[in-house]
Amino acid sequence: MRTLIYLLIGIIFGITMFKSEAASWFRIYEMFKFDSFHMYGIIGSALVIGILVVQAIKRLNITSFYGEKIHFYPKERGFSRYIIGGILFGLGWALAGACPGPMFTLVGAGFAPILVVIIAALLGTYVYGIIKDKLPH
Amino acid sequence: MNWIYEPWSWYVSGPIIAFIMFLLIMVDKTFGMSSNLRTICTICGAGNKTDFFKFDWKSQQWNLIVVIGAIIGGYLGSHLLSMDTAVAINPATITDLNTLGFESAGKAYLPTELFDTSALLSFKTIALLATGGFLVGFGARYAGGCTSGHAISGLSNLQLPSLIAVIGFFIGGLFMIHVLFPLIF
């Protein structure tokens, strides 16, 4: 049952990424050129609603669908890792035109070369795991 | 119901993304896609090499199922729910991209120069896709999250680290497109 819920959530996510064109390399380029409101509208409206939802759940002590307490995990404090990691991510996001969600959506949409991006992203994750103790965090 | 076959506007898509995050919160999970890359590394045996990958990947199985859903969703979105997948970007952007050599701008979903299967015959294309992917994977883990984990989940929970990361995403993205693209393409 729970598996089915996750699968459905993923399907809605994948359809939305494709249909909103957030999975399009062109939309990412256009966003970084400030030539369209489209991507800002998507992220911005998701964020405004997201903030309201999270605040409501916290303040009203809403429990999960299973009646259990909902956990929110604050991000560790820090600066270097977020700014440096963020910049590296941004460079890759603009070049490949896909972030880790849409990457998978594009596999389903049938674009074979995206597999190169995914394999390289796995390698990047792996290399981070190997050298992380040597990096400023 | 014809709107379904058209590209979805931001005011439809953004709220759906918030709804997806809401659903995941309500089953006590977190919306964050890049963690899956780490999980897949673990499944491939990366835990033998370093502690970062030593964790019970089964605890993250749910997120891999979301990924499988995202793949299926990509298929449904492109094959069943779309007539024409050409992305109508700003004409000024199209002119820009034409200058850089992207003739497919405004005519396709992804630039055929990079994502057509025949593009894989070019070493330069493979190198660019691999570099982009590597930076996304490395950067997301270094920053502890990607667009979904920081820009949506983290900022929704008013996390300062996520704001710093998102500012980083933009510094990197702007630098790539405004400074590096004219040198690369």
Three-class SS of B20-57: HHHHHHHCCCCCCCCHHHHHHHHHCCHHHCCHHHCCCH
DSSP B177: I
Please check whether residue A90 is in contact with residue B171, taking contact to mean a CB–CB distance below 8 angstroms.
yes
**Predicted complex ipTM:** 0.97
Please check whether residue A54 is in contact with residue B25, taking contact to mean a CB–CB distance below 8 angstroms.
yes
Q: What is the pLDDT of residues B125-177, one digit of tens each?
A: 999 999 999 999 999 999 999 999 999 999 999 999 999 999 999 999 999 99
Three-class SS of B119-157: HHHCHHHHHHHHHHHHHHHHHHHHHCCCHHHHHHHHHHC
Kindly give the parts of chain B with pLDDT less than 70. Answer: 1
How far apart are the CA of A86 and the nearest CA of chain B, in angstroms?
4
Query: Which residues have C-beta within 8 Å of that of residue A49, sequence separation ≥ 6?
Result: B14, B15, B18, B19
Chain B contact set for A57 (CB, 8 A) = 25
Chain A's closest residue to B61, CA to CA, is A3
**For testing the chain A interface, which of B1, B17, B61, B128 should be mutated: the one with the most A CBs within 10 Å?**
B17
Do the chains contact at A16 and B96, CB–CB below 8 Å?
no
* CB nearest A10 (choices: B69, B129, B141): B69
Residue B2's pLDDT is what?
82
Radius of gyration, CA atoms only, chain B: 19
Residue A1's pLDDT is what?
81
Residue A35's pLDDT is what?
98
Do the chains contact at B152 and A46, CB–CB below 8 Å?
yes
Q: Across A1-137, where does the E strand assignment appear?
A: none
Chain A contact set for B18 (CB, 8 A) = 45-47, 49-50, 53
Side-chain-side CA neighbours of B10 within 13 Å: the count stands at 15
Residue B1's pLDDT is what?
67
Q: Does B55 touch chain A (CB under 8 A)?
A: no
Q: What is the mean pLDDT of chain A?
A: 97
Kindly give the parts of chain A with pLDDT less than 70. Answer: none
3-state DSSP helix/strand/coil % of chain B, to nearest 5? 75, 0, 25
Residue B157's pLDDT is what?
97
Determine the Cα–Cα distance for residues B132 and B143; give it in Å rounded to an integer: 16
